[in-house]
Chain A
Amino acid sequence: MQLEQHLRKSLEHKDILLMTHIVLGYPSFEVNREVIRQMVDNGVDCIEMQIPFSEPMADGPVIMKANLDSLAIGTRVEECLAFGKEMAATHSIPFLYMTYYNIIFKYGEERFIEACTEAGITGLIVPDLPPEQSEIFFRHARERNIAPILIYSPTSTHERMKELDDSGSGFIYCVARRGVTGKKSDLDEDFTSYLQRCRAATSKPLAVGFGIQSADDINALRGIADMAVIGSQTIRLVDEQGPEAVGPFIAELRG
């Protein structure tokens, strides 16, 4: 509940929240630190920090490359956990980890969730872990008040959405379209009716991600979603213009 309550509180004075994403250790923890500072200073409400994995199946080229480059310079899981702890202690917004299940499985599910509690992390996004595949993970997360964030997709049926709603907490991550991260999404009529289906299946806040890139996209989400997720776009920005470009970009999105 912790995470959901926090978001609900922010929603009292904002009509849409902003979650951003970084890949830990890419291009370096030093740059991660600076990017996060600029994000927080410019009004980001929530940050997902991706612990890199060698097989990032659900990610498109930008985030995939960031994962592989981070690992190529030797990023370790322990370093990511220590960095997450530092960020959660430094900034007052909620921090989440996003990673693939093998990282958690190999670390030990209970031990990993323990480490999240220790680090002050409020939620976990694991795109390749449907709730029926690990009873242990979801039980420990609930007991430790770490929100397992579940994902809706345009292909999810109403029954499936209800099932996911029962297992998840914090918020629901609605994937804007079929496919992987990073490619632009059409926020058209089909999309609006999809979000209405999401809304009908859950009372949790709705975050929308995959291909959200501009202030226009965020405006299109106002009134139908509670949080916009910016992923690949800030990584592209840092690659092309350096970390100092992140602050102005976020400020512009915030409008």
Chain B
Amino acid sequence: MVKKGYFGNWGGAFIPEVLHQTFAELEHHFKTAQADPAFWQEYVDLMSTYSCRPTPLTHAENLSKHFGGAQIYIKREDLNHTGAHKANNVMGQGLLVKRMGKTRVIAETGAGQHGVATATMAAKFGFDCTIYMGEVDVQRQRPNVFWMEKMGATVVPVRDGSRTLKDAINEAFRDWVTNVDTTHYVFGTACGPAPFPEMVSWFQSIVGNEAYEQMRIQHGKNPARIYACVGGGSNAMGIFGRFLEEEGVELIGVEAGGKGVETGQHAARLCGNDASPGVAQGYRTMFLQNDDGQMLETHSVAAGLDYVGVSPILSDLWEQGKVRFTAATDQEVMDVLDLTMKKEGIIPALESAHGFVQAFKDAPEMSTDEGIIINMSGRGDKDIFTIAHAFDDPSWKEFIVQRAREYSK
């Protein structure tokens, strides 16, 4: 029998005793909600009135023609409210928080999308909200910090460790153990202690459920392959879930190759050779760590993929060979971003663009009657500073210099 909260060898709940009772309550509320069709209906209604669900599936005809192979379909999570798949999980957890009677929510954020989604949910439901964000990410995702603060959240820059996502998670846990009676930690991805991996994947499964129906209507059959970027793994779990048991659908997770998987400067847990089994941040998975079990620094142009661990559910699927994992480098990501904007007028987030990279490598080898789906987990306009910088865009630079001059007067 599989141990509770485990997926094969992975998962579990390695939590300090002070959280034991809270996890027992969370587990109870989650299981009750899961067994209650009215809860899911309430969730779907909320997502279709407050957000833009179902999000469209776009047939990228120009890109398909350009590569001359598979028909490329893009699942448009960028059109979800707050611009990414993150809102699915957050609104779902918000409904649970109401059921649990808590009044304050906290969250970690890397790219800032989960932080923005949580601040949005807190504003709508009337919760107090504190967001923890690594100082490095505060710098690279400044527009998201602005919006979180505007929606009434307190954003706390985390200055410890590598000052990225994992450090924000540690700090959120420290807050939670202190304020456990009033506070729910809205975990942002399909990682962390049980039941978070399963719970987040459940809320995100709305993406795959929609894509399944849409593909039948628009393409007439199942896709041959599905691509998703993998940071913690929530958007991948979301789109993969419905197709896991479908024959003939290959699932591909694309990790952050950073400056190259062989350089050590990346966040490739499952497709590289640098990760090993470990237990941190409350769960067991493949971590980028040294021989002593100390976590390593990771690198990616995409803040949301720059993380040492990965969903325990994906580690299990990887071990069983049910999902293929590859990596995309920072440079490849910039190249596909350029092409996608020019050909389709669509701006993927830097994170999502990782999935596009592998899809574009594979599409030309496939036949024109095969379809593939790329999960576009979020929109790229949040990355305007990073992308403009990477393109070394002269008119943007000129604008920033002028604006700075104005502000420093």
Contacts and interface: CB of A to CB of B under 8 A. Distances in A.
Interface of A: 53-58, 60, 64-65, 68, 71, 76-77, 100-103, 105-107, 127-130, 133, 150-157, 160, 164, 175, 178-180
B295 A55 contact: yes
Given A55-B166, A55-B281, A64-B160, A153 B292 contact: no
Contacts of A155: 17-22, 180
Interface of B: 12-22, 160-161, 166, 170, 173-174, 177-181, 276-282, 284, 287, 289, 291-295
A66 B277 CA distance: 26
Given A101-B14, A179-B174, 4 more contacts: A156-B20, A156-B21, A178-B179, A180-B177
| Most A Cβ at <10 Å: residue of B166, B281, B289, B294 | B294
Contacts of B284: 105
B161 A53 contact: no
| Most A Cβ at <10 Å: residue of B18, B19, B289 | B18
A57 B17 contact: no
A163 B294 CA distance: 31
Contact of B13 (A57, A58, A133, A175): A133
22 contacts: A54-B161, A54-B295, A55-B161, A55-B166, A55-B281, A57-B170, A57-B281, A71-B294, A100-B280, A102-B278, A102-B287, A106-B292, A128-B16, A130-B13, A130-B14, A133-B14, A153-B16, A157-B21, A175-B17, A178-B180, A178-B181, A180-B174
Nearest to B21: A155
Nearest to A104: B293
B17 A152 contact: yes
A155 B180 CA distance: 9
A178 B170 contact: no
A161 to B, nearest CB: 10
A55 to B, nearest CB: 5
B21 A127 contact: no
B278 A106 contact: yes
Nearest to A75: B292
Contacts of A128: 14-16, 279, 282
A130 B17 CA distance: 7
| Most B Cβ at <10 Å: residue of A150, A152, A179 | A179
A150 B19 CA distance: 14
A206 B295 CA distance: 34
Contacts of A133: 12-14
Contacts of A157: 21
B17 A180 contact: no
Contacts of A100: 280
B20 A130 contact: yes
Nearest to B173: A57
Contact of B289 (A60, A106, A150, A156): A106
Contacts of A77: 292-293
A65 to B, nearest CB: 8
Q: Which 4 A-B pairs have the closest CB atoms?
A: A106-B293, A179-B178, A153-B18, A54-B294
Contacts of B20: 130, 153, 155-156, 160
Nearest to A163: B20
Contacts of B18: 153-155, 175, 178-179
B291 to A, nearest CB: 7
B381 to A, nearest CB: 33
Contact of B16 (A58, A60, A71, A102): A58
Contacts of A71: 294
A164 B295 contact: no
Given A54-B294, A57-B174, A102 B279 contact: yes
